[in-house]
Structure 1
Amino acid sequence: MNARFPYEDPTLPVDQRVDDLLPRMSLEDKAGLLFQQFVMIGDLDAPGMFGSASIRELLAQGLTHFNILFAPSARQIAQWHNMLQDEARTHPLGIPVTIASDPRHHFTDNPATAMMAGPFTQFPEPLGLAALRDEGLVERFARLVRSEYRAVGIRAALHPQIDLATEPRWARQSTTFGEDAGLTARLGVAYIKGLQGDEVGPESVSVMAKHFPGGGPQKDGEDPHFSYGREQVYPGGYFDLHLEPFKAAIAAGVAQLMPYYGMPIGLAGVEEVGFGFNKDMITGLLREELGFDGIVCTDWGILSNTCWGVEHLTYEQRMLKALDAGVDQFGGEHRADVLVSLVRTGQVSQDRIDVSVRRLLREKFRLGLFDDRHVDAERADTIVGTTAARAEGIATQAAAHTLLTNAASGPARLPLRAGLKVYAEGLSAESFSGRATPVDALSEADVAVLRLQAPWEQRGDGKSFESFFHAGSLAFPAAEIERITQICRTVPTVIDIYLDRPAILTELAGSAAAVLANFGACEEAVVRTLFGEEEPRGMLPFDLPSSMTAVEASRPDAPFDTADPLFPFGHGLRYDDRSPQPIAAAAATESSPLPAH
């Protein structure tokens, strides 16, 4: 394409192109850049989500950043992306669209923490990557994510989540790297390098790490998506510890950061309002003290819904407060017309808007979107979810398993031997094909295998967004404990438990012959691990508390703070380990030697 204006010339420096484009933009063009809305893949004229206009209408209003939800085939995503870019090009300045996504490359069934994988390759959740303690693996994984995202046109990642999982009850732990600040910082940097490369460029996916300044220390473990979880508390005085992964991310060149919904309580000199409205945090700490000059995008819907500490303000007043705090973009919002009105009435200056517009334009130029905005839709299906990538994903799901206990001998000693008669719950009969004989009755079984999930207390009606947040007690109900222990008394039993957050396993670990933990694993990965076709190499990324009493007495901001954990951070046995199987041991952190297994 011949360049009409200097900003269209790919040979010019990025800053020169931004300087040329900025004065050509109308106020409406500029305002639209400061909003990023959810959209559905499909008809550009279909009604928008959450009361917004259609995509075509949003483009006409100047919006050029969109966050996609459910994904069809790779080819369909790529074709839709190209159609969207063609529509954007018809507008006078032809500003390209930036497509973003929440995490998609993990085995999960919980859309509150990550999007459904759809056509993308599935690895374990980030807790599983943390269990493997391998920076090289994390960087390779992120490069795979980059390749698959770029194939369909996704150029911004709303991840990694580098919060510290210091509150065992918090519902958002599955997409963190666990409880330890040092491990989280190291793996977070590897993740950023894998997605962005050494610096953001045309081959990159721009990273929006979250949730600054650390979303883990939630009061009672409740999540600030909801009013009852709006408070972040620091009774242990560990605010600075939660900053460590973000300092490492900034040093690594992370392009974007997202503040969390929560409001800090009891921090000296800090206003008690949500982080997206908090000038002390965004301008004072992030911009001035830490020197971050990248994009700050709010978490989704803070003007409309999760406006903690400023509920009494109008929509316009909330927007003013967030802009004054120093944010550049509003996630999950689309009311660019409100911002235009605030500028025209003199409540926001053009200069203030231009500061954020420069950052947002610069990122589009750095990503090369102005120069090569289309993707090869015909090739997308051959790049995304290849046979080799899926095989590596399943192998990693298996390897991330963490062996908590193992029988000294007998049929339930892991790995299971072939040919056993197995009573199974949570695994299909087909998954044992060629390995064991499934039976329907405990009386017929040599061994029982129970696939469990960390317990939670149901919130909402079971169908609402709230219901996807696994919150509340970590203890199994008494009736379920009795049911499982009765199985263990009847036949040697192996438990494989999915830990999207810690679970109280005190009674079960004492009854079962062997206990495995996984962090997002399909049936095939679980069964391969059970039969020794893959070796479990994981080490716990957080402590497993011994009781809810210990959890309730711990400080939400303090790592490794539950008394006498049943299994500590770093615990993980190997199948050839014949040493005694301790049920409790001292915690190990990244600053002390990990157990040798």
Structure 2
Amino acid sequence: MDPFEDPRLTPEERTEDLLSRLSHEEKVGLMFHTVIETGADGTLLETPGAISKSPTSTVVLEKCMSHFNVHGLESAGATARWHNRLQELAERTPHGIPITLSTDPRHGDAQNAGASWVTSFFSLWPEPLGLGALADPELVRTWADTVRREYTAIGIRAALHPVADLATEPRWARQRECFSQDPALVAELVTAALAGLRGGGHCAGPAVQSTVKHFPGAGPQKDGEDAHFPYGRDQVYPGSRFAEHLMPFRRAIEAGADAIMPYYGRPVGLEIDGQQIDSVGFGFNRQVLTGLLREELGFDGVIVSDWELVSDNHVGDQVLPARAWGVEGLSASERMARILEAGADQFGGEECTQLLLDLVRDGAVAPERVTDSARRLLRVKFQLGLFDDPYVDESAAEALVGRADDRRAGHEAQAASVVVLHDDGQVLPLLGVQGRTRIYSEGLPEEVVAQLGEQVLAPAEADVALLRIGAPFQPRDDLFLESWFHQGDLEFPPGLAHRLARIREECPLILDVDLDRAAVLTDVVGHCDALTGSFGVSGAAWADAISGEVPARGRLPIELPRSMDAVRASQEDVLGGTEDPLFPAGHGVDLRAVVSPARREHPRRG
């Protein structure tokens, strides 16, 4: 064996040996991390995909790339087969560098091609905001350990999460990926998530690389717009709360985060230790990545940029410009050099390896700078054990993923995370009426209604109405990915309150709002006997929550503002920043404490 192949040596020793053997092309290939897509039934895709730009063999064999972010997956078994074929392909590279597969979150119900993927064969849990509603670090560790076991069973070895951002701006589209608006709680839950992804101790099995994002805290987006898009490029701190947004990242670094991803946003008017910070995107910002993250916080792990800071993204007839906020006038090569000078190790969403090779050849980037980043990236591969055995057991994948006990644990966590905001009608827990409960429903699967009672077609025929709706947003679809992000004002159309009132004239009404971000509920709360908020919860789990089968006990992890005027007057970086919120953070009724008779008569109206 060559020394880098010897598992008896330390990851650091093996890394140094392999670095001495690699060509410039191999080192450069390590520094790119882009989207990869699967072929049918576990085959390699040898054409460009829906989003991926090149055939699989091109990026692995010709560009020497070995880090890929996988998107849609067919099944556990097909993914395991595809993964093993991908590793076999990587063995044909000069030094057989194994592939590291990464993914955005997959264990919730939110589908967003730019942020998360619904994966039905995994166990499904609340979105992170729902975990924040339960504020239980041990549950978060269990969730992350389950994520680790299911990822590694099919070959995924890097998580592009957890999110350490604070959900302080009520309009921001990515609140559901956050744990809370409270920095202390976020820090505690992110630390628990890192422990679960790492495994070890009572958690057996291989580890998953963590990527904590979005440094130094992506929550305070100006007017709540998202920095994926040019109109949302500015990140602001009118309340001077930068230290609070940074705090969870400090704790994550202390807890051993493997990688950190800076966000797209450019800081406006930010000072750190009396120094004015350049108004350029954090991925280009040397003061933040080198000065703060590397030097002050002492982070020596991998810094991976967020996606597509260098190149425009062309998908079909849509174009999303490179998210080079503050340096839009630079060429692609100049942007790449600026990212390296800032301190990043890896280019997210890019496969333009020749640009970096040309920069090295022309003397614009020193070979030693490439070696420094290659060292960090290889060290993680050795720590994960990928050089010793990168393969998975294809025959076991289906049984290891989505086990009944994991699905049940996820279901119970979803139900428990529901927040009872209002129960003036004293209809919860929903225990039914004498005989069979007649239910008018909207937004609930028929099979769930059948477990609670008898479906009827009109409120006038019902004993109770059960409605589930999404939080309001203003649809946009001019730029690639834009339609996935729920943005804009937080108020419902005025007709909703009228419609709810008409239903409630006929029977008691229980309304649930899926809070993927905050919502203004002022106009609807008075038209409900009971109102709940949920965070990526299935219909079956919500039914268990309101019936008391698995009683709802969540507390709001974010405040729900009283009006859009209050939102507009608030400061984006301040937690609890809206005046006189309708429901403050921490609000919620624990149905475990509600004493009700075994059977209850709900009076019909009308």
Instruction: Give the TM-score of the pair, scaled to structure 1.
Output: 0.93
Partner of 2:603: none
Unaligned runs of 5+ in 1: 580-597
How far apart, CA to CA, are the structure 1 residues paired with 2:341 and 2:50? 28
1:550 aligns with 2:566: yes
Partner of 2:302: 295
CA deviation string 1:401-455 (max 9, x = no partner): 011111354xx34324252211111113321224211111111111111111110
1:484 aligns with 2:500: yes
Q: CA RMSD in A?
A: 1.7
The residue identity in structure 2 corresponding to 1:105 is H
**Contact kept? 2:12, 2:379, Cα under 8 Å:** yes
CA deviation string 1:242-294 (max 9, x = no partner): 00100000000000000000000001321100000000100000000000000
1:84 aligns with 2:98: no
**Contact kept? 1:301, 1:331, Cα under 8 Å:** yes
Total equivalences in the alignment? 573
Q: Which residue, 585, 598, 606 being the options, matches 1:569?
A: 585
The residue identity in structure 2 corresponding to 1:414 is P
Q: Structure 1 201/213 Cα, relative in aligned 2: closer, same or farther at 3 Å?
A: farther
CA deviation string 1:215-240 (max 9, x = no partner): 00000000000000000000000011
Partner of 1:229: 232
1:56 aligns with 2:57: yes
The residue identity in structure 1 corresponding to 2:125 is F
Structure 1 residue 112 displacement after superposition: 4.2
Q: Structure 1 186/407 Cα, relative in aligned 2: closer, same or farther at 3 Å?
A: same
Partner of 2:11: 14
**Contact kept? 1:201, 1:368, Cα under 8 Å:** no
Partner of 1:323: 340
Which aligned pairs between 1:203-214 and structure 2 lie closer than 5 A?
Answer: 203-214=206-217
How far apart, CA to CA, are the structure 1 residues paired with 2:142 and 2:514? 24
Q: Which residue, 32, 37, 40 being the options, matches 1:35?
A: 32
Q: Structure 1 27/112 Cα, relative in aligned 2: closer, same or farther at 3 Å?
A: closer
Partner of 1:148: 150
Q: Structure 1 392/51 Cα, relative in aligned 2: closer, same or farther at 3 Å?
A: closer
**Contact kept? 2:554, 2:590, Cα under 8 Å:** no
How far apart, CA to CA, are the structure 1 residues paired with 2:147 and 2:328? 38
CA deviation string 1:332-360 (max 9, x = no partner): 00011110010011110011111100000
Q: Secondary structure at the match of 2:505?
A: helix
Q: Select between 207-216 and 486-495 the one with higher mean Cα deviation.
A: 486-495
Q: Percent identity?
A: 46
CA deviation string 1:144-170 (max 9, x = no partner): 111011101100000011100000000
Structure 1 residue 578 displacement after superposition: 6.5
Q: Structure 1 182/474 Cα, relative in aligned 2: closer, same or farther at 3 Å?
A: same
1:560 aligns with 2:576: yes
1:270 aligns with 2:277: yes
How far apart, CA to CA, are the structure 1 residues paired with 2:330 and 2:347? 17
Structure 1 residue 575 displacement after superposition: 2.9
Partner of 1:586: none
Q: Secondary structure at the match of 1:210?
A: strand
1:126 aligns with 2:141: no
How far apart, CA to CA, are the structure 1 residues paired with 2:559 and 2:462? 33
**Contact kept? 1:71, 1:119, Cα under 8 Å:** no
Which aligned pairs between 1:299-314 and structure 2 lie closer than 5 A?
Answer: 299-304=306-311, 305-314=322-331
Q: Secondary structure at the match of 1:121?
A: coil
1:443 aligns with 2:473: no
How far apart, CA to CA, are the structure 1 residues paired with 2:75 and 2:562? 44
Partner of 1:504: 520
Q: Which residue, 250, 255, 258 being the options, matches 1:255?
A: 258
Q: Structure 1 36/285 Cα, relative in aligned 2: closer, same or farther at 3 Å?
A: same
**Contact kept? 1:554, 1:561, Cα under 8 Å:** yes
Structure 1 residue 109 displacement after superposition: 3.9
Instruction: Give the TM-score of the pair, scaled to structure 2.
Output: 0.92
CA deviation string 1:454-477 (max 9, x = no partner): 10011116x952011101111101
**Contact kept? 2:553, 2:592, Cα under 8 Å:** no
Structure 1 residue 510 displacement after superposition: 1.6
Partner of 1:533: 549
Partner of 1:592: none
Partner of 1:585: none
How far apart, CA to CA, are the structure 1 residues paired with 2:145 and 2:125? 13
How far apart, CA to CA, are the structure 1 residues paired with 2:332 and 2:582? 48
Q: Secondary structure at the match of 1:170?
A: coil
Which aligned pairs between 1:347-358 and structure 2 lie closer than 5 A?
Answer: 347-358=364-375
How far apart, CA to CA, are the structure 2 residues paired with 1:254 and 1:500? 26
1:345 aligns with 2:346: no
